[in-house]
Amino acid sequence: MNTRELDAKYIAGTYARFPVVLTHGKGSVVWDEDGKEYIDMGSGIAVNAFGIADAEWISAVMAQLGRLQHSSNLYFTEPDALLAEQLCSRTGMKKVFFANSGAEANECAIKCARKYAADKYGAENRYKIITLVNSFHGRTVTTLAATGQEEYHKLFQPLTPGFLYAEANDCEALRAMVEADPAVAGIMFELVQGEGGVLPLDKGFVECIASLCAERDILMICDEVQTGNGRTGSLYAWQQFGIVPDIMTTAKGLGGGLPIGACLMGEKVKDTMTPGTHGSTFGGNPAVCAGALNILSRIDDALLASVREKSAYLVNELSGASGVESVAGMGLMLGIKTVKPVDEVVAACRENGVLVLTAHGKVRLLPALNIPMELVEKAAAVIKAACAE
């Protein structure tokens, strides 16, 4: 059997895959098993931050693999300590918990918010978390409950209780929800709803969340799993909204292609999680953290400026192009609403050597942060042609 036949027979049927078997790549170019070459405008869903087989990242990971590939959290190791130090110094956050995925980072954030509220107000008095309609926070039973999309909930009842859903960008409705319910412990949101269609929140609404949280000692939790690590043109997206979260989570791009999640805790909650309240066997894996430290160190001002520049080029090229209804997003996280059915556009791009993603009926672009401008130009031309009527 070939790979696709083996997959069909033995891999659980949870994924609707594109009809391509990828074998290898370099930077933002990737090849399939027939030797066809593609420009990678998805980077493994915003994971391969510096593209495929990045030499510096490989040597950071390999050097650590050759020393100690895993230790368990029963011992201290240097890479996770250095990574946590840099995460805190570049965000003003105070403590980091390392997990292995976005959903797990969010689980930590939810537990941290509940424990903070329980310690201070009593567990039965304060435990609820408000999230936004159309949000996405993960696939575990609890992060699915946090995800404000009905269609994901239906088949898995009962989900973890204690979540309320507010409409994005409606400050008055959110205020009413908070005023009606003294049990609200946290408000969790993505600054740009990724899976929901690449929709940035209004700045005024984000300020509204911040003031409600400050007034009532409600924890502000930013899910930066997708928007984080340079993706939107700043290290974290909240840095462009004039707010400072109490808790933020990230994952995807942080590991440069290896699994990592991180929950960062600010001043208010820095001492909330105590021994025995949370843990992870693989969390803070030294090889993964050595790679992540390399990635994070290279997301500097010059790289962030180039992310914004490439973003502006793509927005400018695609906005108003034939068959393009709208372009939304921030940085190298863009969603294109097309006149043609999205699947048709994606297939035409693929035929012509460009891999793109989708989100809620839109074409979604999440290229590597260091994609060369020349490839951005080539990809834009292919995408434009695929959209054109």
Ligand X SMILES: *Cc1c(COP(=O)(O)O)cnc(C)c1O
Contacts of 137 (CB under 8 A, 6+ apart): 102, 103, 106, 131, 143, 144, 146, 147, 188, 223, 225
Q: How many CB atoms lie within 10 A of CB 20?
A: 16
Q: Please say which residue, 132 or 327, places its beta carbon nearer to ligand X.
A: 132
CA atoms within 13 A on the CB side of 108: 33
Distances (CA, A) of 201 to 170, 340, 348, 387: 10, 26, 31, 26
**Given candidates 107, 195, 246, 317, which one binds ligand X under the rule CB under 6 A?**
195
Q: Please say which residue, 198 or 379, places its beta carbon nearer to ligand X.
A: 198
CA atoms within 13 A on the CB side of 277: 18
Which of the stretches 79-87, 190-198, 206-214, 349-357 binds ligand X when contact is defined by CB under 6 A? 190-198
Distances (CA, A) of 174 to 10, 68, 165, 215: 46, 48, 9, 13
CA atoms within 13 A on the CB side of 288: 24
CA 90 centroid distance within chain: 18
CA distance 261 to 98: 6
How many residues of this chain interact with ligand X, rule: CB under 6 A? 15
**Given candidates 41, 83, 93, 103, which one binds ligand X under the rule CB under 6 A?**
103
CA distance 96 to 145: 24
Q: With binding defined as CB under 6 A, does residue 380 bind ligand X? A: no
CA distance 337 to 91: 33
Q: With binding defined as CB under 6 A, does residue 255 bind ligand X? A: no
Q: Please say which residue, 103 or 376, places its beta carbon nearer to ligand X.
A: 103
Q: With binding defined as CB under 6 A, does residue 245 bind ligand X? A: no
CA atoms within 13 A on the CB side of 154: 4
Which of the stretches 77-85, 125-133, 220-228, 375-383 binds ligand X when contact is defined by CB under 6 A? 220-228
Q: With binding defined as CB under 6 A, does residue 136 bind ligand X? A: yes
Q: Please say which residue, 224 or 317, places its beta carbon nearer to ligand X.
A: 224
| Residues 263 and 222 sit within 8 Å (Cβ to Cβ) | no
Which residue bears the tokens 């430290």?
293
Q: Please say which residue, 138 or 335, places its beta carbon nearer to ligand X.
A: 138
Q: How many CB atoms lie within 10 A of CB 117?
A: 24
Q: Please say which residue, 106 or 239, places its beta carbon nearer to ligand X.
A: 106
Q: How many CB atoms lie within 10 A of CB 3?
A: 11
CB of 322 to ligand X, least distance (A): 30
CB of 316 to ligand X, least distance (A): 26
**Given candidates 49, 206, 225, 371, which one binds ligand X under the rule CB under 6 A?**
225
CB of 146 to ligand X, least distance (A): 9
Q: With binding defined as CB under 6 A, does residue 251 bind ligand X? A: yes
Backbone angles phi, psi at 362, to 5 degrees: -115, 160
**Given candidates 137, 231, 362, 364, which one binds ligand X under the rule CB under 6 A?**
137
**Given candidates 42, 138, 284, 329, which one binds ligand X under the rule CB under 6 A?**
138
Give the contact letters, 141-180, x = binds to ligand X (CB under 6 A), - = no. Answer: ----------------------------------------
Q: Please say which residue, 136 or 238, places its beta carbon nearer to ligand X.
A: 136
**Given candidates 102, 200, 253, 331, which one binds ligand X under the rule CB under 6 A?**
102
CB of 233 to ligand X, least distance (A): 17
Q: Please say which residue, 105 or 213, places its beta carbon nearer to ligand X.
A: 105
Contacts of 204 (CB under 8 A, 6+ apart): 171
Q: Which residues contribute to the site for ligand X (CB under 6 A)?
A: 101-103, 106, 136-138, 190, 194-195, 223, 225-226, 251-252
